[in-house]
Amino acid sequence: MSGPIDRKRVAVLAVAVLLASSGCIGFLLGNDSLEFTASNATVSDDALDETGYSLNESHALVENRTLEDAGDREIVVESHVNAYSKHETILDDRREVGRFTAVAVPEVEVLGQSFNPLDDMSNADLLDEFQSQMTDSSRDADFSVDEEKRLDGVLGEQVNVTRFTGTTRFNDKEIEVAVYATKVKHDGDWVVMLGAHPTQRPEGEQDIETLMQSVEHDGGD
């Protein structure tokens, strides 16, 4: 009987070592929160030069959440947001003619179970969640799906990009805009990409696709 008992003890010790090395012991006991941090997702310098976009804002977004399915344990999720814009001078008036945002969100996984809502989000859900990054209007602005397409070479993957159109405030004016949304899972993070431009400037679509294909991400922690 000693053989099976010894193997069981070895298995228990192995699990304990695994949990301790991954920082989960305090979390499971309810003593500590568990932290998940995404790596930055940025547009390459070459793509910025090609499209005329420039970095407008870069910041971390920290959220505290409670996982009910894990015994009401607390987690801390740190995402990274990089927002870019394009401006042109028209009749001595400098105007914004395009926006692009890359958001890196860590995959929240505890003991093999994923708790990240992005897993099940559609591109329409992404637009609703991150709309403030793309337009100057409230979240209630009405957008409809205009086109679905596949785009190659986005962090090594082929992704589904949804184009939405709607009338909203952009560059302090009420105009019709096209908004693009997609996501891709890469090295332990979800990378969400959104772009926008006035529909009266159709060439902006090529810029958005170039920016999506140029995003660089060095993997989650």
- Percentage of the chain exceeding pLDDT 70: 76
Q: With CA atoms as reference, report the closest residue to 62 among 33, 42, 85.
A: 33
Q: How far, in whole angstroms, is CA 75 from its chain's centroid?
A: 18
Asked whether the predicted pLDDT for residue 61 surpasses 50, the reply is: yes
How does pLDDT run across 117-147, given as a tens digit for each residue?
788 899 999 998 887 777 765 555 688 999 9
- Rounded Cα distance between 144 and 147, Å, is 9
CATH 3.40.1000 in the chain, residue ranges: 33-217
pLDDT for 217 beyond 70:
yes
Chain segment 69-114, per-residue pLDDT in tens? 656 778 888 999 999 999 998 777 788 899 999 999 998 877 666 6
Residues 6+ apart with CB under 8 A from 156: 186
Q: What is the pTM of this model?
A: 0.80
Strands 157-170 and 144-154: antiparallel
Question: Is the pLDDT score of 15 beyond 50?
Answer: no
Fold of 33-217: Protein Transport Mog1p; Chain A (3.40.1000)
